[in-house]
Amino acid sequence: MSKEFRLGIFVTLGLFVLAAAVIVIGDFPLQRHYTIHVLFGNTTGLPEKSKVRIAGVTIGKVARISLRGNKADVIVNIRPDVQLHEDAEARIVNIGLIGSKYLEMTTGSDSAPLLKNGAIIRGIDPVPLDRAVSNILEKLDALTGGFGGEGGNLGENLSITLRNLRQLSEKLNKSFTEEGLDDIATNVRDFSRDAAAAAQKINQALSRADIATAASSLSKVIERLDKLLTKIESGEGLVGKLVTDKDMAEELKTTIGSLKDTSEQAQRALRRLNLIKTYWDYTARYDFSDELVRHDAGITIYPRENKFYQLGVSNIKDTSSETDSQIINTIDAQIGGEVLPGLVLHGGVIRSRGGFGLRYRPFYPYKVGKKFELESFAYDFARKNPARPNINIGARFTPTPWLVVGMRSEDVSNTANMNGYLNLNIADDDIAYLLGLIGLAKP
């Protein structure tokens, strides 16, 4: 097989993959759909290209998120076989507690008119977790504030009420003695001389046995109230401690404040978990001078949008060959991030040597320009033969989020071998989830 024939195969394959990625999977989907606009007050965490579901079944995807006035306009592509009505509802939900977000919708009622292409509906804004926790803590603070501290008079009022009940019980006990009952009976008999029939019925209703029974029951109730008041005044039980122990009331307020701080920290940790993204990387590089295909593989971790860590192995092979000018099975371990709009810097270990590099998007403000990058990286600054670092310069194009096509001149100050390459990167949500949990577990 001649060199020209192999070169033709590689170029044809690259063009075919590029065309398929741009036309079929890129920004030009072939599937039919209709579009609706969903307006939200806040779409934090909802990415473009996320799924749209009804009852867990995928019916479309989020095509783009833009700004319409002071609202977020979520542009949604819906399958033509799914009919939505004008009273359809849409809300942003999570997969699990810390999973990625997607758009959940309802079809609406059959009596409402159907939505047409380009229709606008209003979404139901989610309640932020930190606001819900803050409302709960404010209500708890208001409730417990009544038991102590500045302005807290609930405990004082309760103590005064129970003290009055005890005084009332003492007066009732004095009134219901034997002598008191005799006086009452005498007065009733004197009055009955003028109304014998009425006095007889009154005497039956107010017999001494009935009064004694009522007095006994009332005495038991008053005795229980007296015991309750005594326990509260002595500081027994939760209410007693809150009324009498100012230190405990202050500790309770401090505990509530600590709980609020903890909830805020947990909310920040959960937001960080939603930002973590991980990708498996595979690169096939064809060296036109050495007439070899080299394979690189690794993983890239994004703890947040503009920062990444990269680990991998370059030129993966079992054994070296005489025609291969590069060292096999070298290590990559780099850290990088976007320091300016369109400019990414990275550095660390490149092919088992110290180095650094950059990527620059010269047409960054334009949508298509964001997919085109110039790249350069240098490493092995201590090289003695030749006594120059290994410098690589090239350009790359990203037709889809998971595919990169590029050309690069490697070791430009020495051999200047031209390389064409294809890079595939596949998202892995499970690794991002595990890394997030490890971060939460740190003390």
Residue 74: the pLDDT is 94
Cβ atoms within 10 Å of 391's Cβ, excluding its own? 19
Residue 297: the pLDDT is 94
* Phi–psi pair at 103, nearest 5 degrees: -100, 120
Q: Across the beta sheet with 101-105, what order do the strands follow?
A: 90-94, 101-105, 51-54, 57-68, 71-78, 34-40, 119-122
The gap from C-alpha 434 to its chain's centroid, in whole angstroms, comes to: 15
Question: Tokens 């120059």 identify what position?
Answer: 388
Of residues 150, 104, 158, the one with CA closest to residue 126: 104
Q: How far apart are CA 415 and CA 395, in angstroms?
A: 18
Contact 294, 326 (CB under 8 A): yes
What does the DSSP assignment read for 278-336?
Answer: EEEEEEEEEETTTTEEEEEEEEEEEEETTEEEEEEEES--SS--TT--S-SSEEEEEEE
Residue 97: the pLDDT is 56
Q: Are strands 330-340 and 343-350 parallel, antiparallel or unpaired?
A: antiparallel
- Residue 319 tokens, joined: 């054994």
Q: How far apart are CA 208 and CA 393, in angstroms?
A: 113
Of residues 130, 161, 435, the one with CA closest to residue 304: 435
The gap from C-alpha 133 to its chain's centroid, in whole angstroms, comes to: 14
Peptide bond preceding 386 in cis form (omega within 30 of 0): yes
Residue 15: the pLDDT is 72
**SS3 for 239?**
helix
Q: What's the Cα-to-Cα distance from 297 to each of 14, 375, 428, rounded to whole Å?
A: 19, 19, 15
- Reading the chain (443 residues) residue by residue, the pLDDT tens digits are 566 666 677 777 777 776 666 555 555 555 688 999 999 988 888 888 889 999 989 999 998 899 988 999 999 999 999 999 999 999 998 876 556 788 999 999 999 999 989 999 999 887 666 566 667 767 766 665 655 555 556 556 666 776 777 776 666 566 555 455 555 556 556 655 655 555 565 555 555 555 556 667 777 777 777 777 676 666 666 555 555 566 666 776 777 777 777 777 666 666 666 667 889 999 999 999 888 899 999 999 988 888 999 999 998 987 777 667 788 899 999 999 999 988 999 999 999 999 999 999 988 777 767 789 999 999 999 988 888 999 999 999 999 888 999 999 999 988 889 999 999 988 877 665 665 555 555 55
Of residues 236, 224, 220, 244, the one with CA closest to residue 162: 224
Residue 220: the pLDDT is 75
The gap from C-alpha 224 to its chain's centroid, in whole angstroms, comes to: 52
Residue 183: the pLDDT is 59
Residue 222: the pLDDT is 75
